[in-house]
Amino acid sequence: MKLSPRDDDSAEKAYRLRKRVFKTVNTLLLWLSLANFIVIIYDLGFSHSPGVVALLGSFYSASLVISCVALGSRLLLLPRNAITKGARVAEYVLFAFQCVAIVGRFLLRGWLAAHAPFARTLFLIYLLFIAVFFIELSKISLSFYRIRFSPALLYLVSFLALIVFGAGLLLLPNATTGGISLVDALFTATSAVCVTGLAVVDTATHFTGTGKAIILLLVQVGGLGVMTLTSFFGSFFQGAYSYQQQIFIKEFVNEDKIGQIFRTLFKIIFLTLLIELVGAVFIYLSLDERLFATRTDQVQFAVFHAVSAFCNAGFSTLSAGLYDYRLREQYNLQLVVAWLVILGGIGFPVMFNLYQSARHYVRSKAARLLHQPPSPDWPAGTPGLHVNTKLILITTAILLGLGTVLFYVTERGGVLAGRSGYGQLVTAFFGSVTPRTAGFNTVDMEALSRPTILFYLLFMWIGASPGSTGGGIKTTTFAIAVLNSLGIARSKYRLEIFRREIPSESVRRAFAVMLLSFLVIGLAVFLVCLFDPGQDLIRVAFECFSAYATVGLSLNMTPELSDASKAVIMVTMYLGRVGTLTLLVALTRTVGSLSYRYPSETVFIS
């Protein structure tokens, strides 16, 4: 049956009206979620009179109804193929939770008041509002990829914005027990976002439960990366992204194949949450429940330290950290924390490659036993482990083994004295793990010998691996520089590792990163000595190395810093997290390929 022009016109008008209403609903949800988020910050950050509490309750009730209606309307107006099936299911689940919250708030208010604490039911409403806000914000964040910014500049700005936002949250009255200065709030936020762990105030006593939750949130987002989180949720709920958006996201997740970007984002977030969950369970099981007043305190301790360890942050809810007299001999706990740090420090690309290689090995063995052909996804002859994976694993193993031996040799008559044989071994192993950007300590840092401090400086400078939550110049940078130097000594002018040739660009980047790190650390040491002339040079150097490598270890100097020195350490932490080379790339114009070449001439090096 052929439609008349009038029918076509009516269909077109209906489509335009539906599209306009859909856009209006989306805009309403965005602004409503923003208003909810601001009100929640005001509610949690300040103390209120009973009248204000009642007014806030009325606002939450009205906002819950409007949000539920808007979300339901969007689901009805949403085109069938506009988003993925998983995103549609997630939207329906969120809508269902809001409906349940409305029923509980209006119809079961008396029953909930008698059977469930008010704070717990209100907390669920907070989570719903924050979830909607984060989803809408993630969708908006994808529009930044259309702006003609380089990925490096967007990466730098995202961390800077999170630091400023985190400092604002820490300045809220309910976040601290006795208030905090602007400089100290900025320092703490920078340390958390850059997953460093240096603290100018005692995290355990200076911050309330709200403040510690804010720090933990900043550590989690800073460890994963702001753009990684927003890109994943934005692309998930929006349904698709342009080629330009994929090019931008590729720079954040170290993924060469553009078609695998969304899958890689999902793997990063899923693996992070899974490891942190398993780590929290093992930490909980390794704790003596007699050390905590309630089981809730024990759970909170396990979750906080699992996230802090995997993100290589080094923050603790205890004043003395893991050196607390109740935990310094809890060696099973220390091993769990150490392995969380190692997993967070080897990088997501390595973990993905290890998983793929193990899966291929099992499948190939099974296919051989069943006399089946090899899987087409991984043809015969394909290498299992990448060169990057092998280099990272070998370098990490050497550093861990060498660090354990050095710590045991230099501290056998020092901080290790008086411990059992097993305790000395675990403490020495932990002592080789923690300077690799972890920041936890199980010994008195001021009691360390000078040789230990010196090799700590080297280990902190090397740091973790690329694509991880840790800092430093990275293990691959150090390994390539060492191997290239050995090759030059043997008059070998190509760098070859595991029967693969490493491009000269990688070698140049390695030496550039090393040079820039020395310049930043040297300038930081100079400025701190200038602003705090009474400090010992070793302590200053240790602080600056720790800040640049985002380690968080300190010789108890951080609280003694002047405001000017705190600013220097903040900038050093920021540069160490985002990368000095990344900063130069963001601020300079890309030259690209050169269409000319000058005559060559030798420059004497030595």
Q: Which of 23-37, 246-260, 344-358, 531-545 has the highest mean pLDDT?
A: 531-545
Q: What single letter denotes the amino acid at residue 375?
A: S
Q: What is the mean pLDDT of the chain?
A: 82
Q: Is the confidence at residue 118, as pLDDT, over 70?
A: no
Largest CA distance in the chain: 95
Mean pLDDT of 157-175: 91
Per-residue pLDDT, 12? 74
**pLDDT per residue as tens digits for the range 48-102:** 888 888 888 888 888 888 888 888 888 887 776 666 676 677 778 888 888 877 7
Taking the C-alpha atoms of residue 341 and residue 468, their distance in angstroms, rounded to an integer, is 10
Q: Is the confidence at residue 2, as pLDDT, over 60?
A: no
Q: Is the confidence at residue 6, as pLDDT, over 80?
A: no
C-alpha 22: how far from chain center: 35
* Percentage above 90 pLDDT, the chain: 28
**pLDDT per residue as tens digits for the range 392-402:** 999 999 999 99
Taking the C-alpha atoms of residue 512 and residue 183, their distance in angstroms, rounded to an integer, is 32
Closest CA to 433 of 396, 469, 388, 408: 396
Mean pLDDT of 288-298: 84
Helix axes 421-433, 387-411, angle to 10 degrees: 130
Beta strands in 384-439 (DSSP E): none
Count helices and strands (H / E) in the chain.
23, 2
Taking the C-alpha atoms of residue 370 and residue 155, their distance in angstroms, rounded to an integer, is 49
Number of other CB atoms surrounding residue 96 within 10 Å: 11
Taking the C-alpha atoms of residue 55 and residue 74, their distance in angstroms, rounded to an integer, is 28
3-class secondary structure, 207? strand
The string of DSSP codes covering 347-391 is -HHHHHHHHHHHHHHHHHHHHHHTT-PPPTTS-TT--SS-HHHHH
Q: Is the confidence at residue 1, as pLDDT, over 50?
A: no
* Percentage above 70 pLDDT, the chain: 81
Q: Is the confidence at residue 182, as pLDDT, over 90?
A: yes
Taking the C-alpha atoms of residue 557 and residue 568, their distance in angstroms, rounded to an integer, is 14
Strand partners, 496: 501
CB 573 within 8 A of CB 200: no
**pLDDT per residue as tens digits for the range 145-158:** 555 666 777 778 88
**pLDDT per residue as tens digits for the range 299-335:** 999 999 999 999 988 898 888 888 888 888 889 999 9
The string of DSSP codes covering 505-529 is HHHHHHHHHHHHHHHHHHHHHHHHH
Per-residue pLDDT, 380? 47
Domain coordinates of the chain in residue numbers? 1-146, 353-363+383-586
Phi, psi of 496 (to 5 degrees): -125, 130
C-alpha 577: how far from chain center: 10
Mean pLDDT of 451-471: 89
Domain at 1-146: CATH architecture: Up-down Bundle (1.20)
Of 5-9, 115-119, 536-540, where does mean pLDDT reach its minimum? 115-119
Strand partners, 207: 176
Per-residue pLDDT, 580? 80
Between CA 38 and CA 42, with CA 40 as vertex, the angle to 5 degrees is 70
Of 364-368, 520-524, 592-596, where does mean pLDDT reach its minimum? 592-596
Mean pLDDT of 397-425: 91
Long-range contacts of the stretch 384-390 (C-beta < 8 A, 24+): 384/356, 384/357, 384/360, 385/353, 385/354, 385/357, 386/349, 386/353, 387/497, 387/498, 387/500, 387/502, 388/349, 388/350, 388/353, 388/466, 388/476, 389/349, 389/350, 389/353, 389/354, 390/497, 390/498
Per-residue pLDDT, 394? 93
Q: Please give the DSSP secondary-structure letter assigned to residue 145.
A: G
Phi, psi of 415 (to 5 degrees): -70, -15
Taking the C-alpha atoms of residue 275 and residue 343, their distance in angstroms, rounded to an integer, is 9
